[in-house]
Structure 1
């Protein structure tokens, strides 16, 4: 097996989707997000999916954790500082 993994670490769950490059099968797993060590949540997903780390060719990682904190206004107060001429960057990105 040669797998490509997509992992999303969210505020509640860590989600994993694995695509086997040889067979074309797709496997999905979910585990609680582990705040102390995010890797534990990823490894729990791999275990549930029956995938060995050694069989992994590529990992794509995304996180909705930060987006959720911003939307819910939860977490530390933050500020965005931009250089002159780039103050509209966030609006343009919408």
Structure 2
């Protein structure tokens, strides 16, 4: 008699654990989808910011070509000195 009750309780526990496992799997899939959506949104926002920055730089280069050339030349010299690629 006690064995049947124990077996019944054990079967109930197994069913409950199976349900819990399924619920955790569903929750994991849901969280993965939400996390992926957040990453996609952040990536799209980053791309938009980069495009806006490129547009701003292009506008400044178009508006001030000589100054842009001098800045690029100066940056090249500075980079050469910092990396040790100096010709003497």
TM-score by shorter chain over 0.5: no
Shorter-chain TM-score bucket reads under 0.3
Give the number of the structure with larger relative contact order, counting CA–CA contacts within 8 Å between residues 6 or more apart. 1
Greater helix content: 2
Q: TM-score, normalised by structure 1?
A: 0.22
TM-score by length of 2: 0.23
| Larger gyration radius, structure 1 or structure 2 | 2
Higher strand share: 1
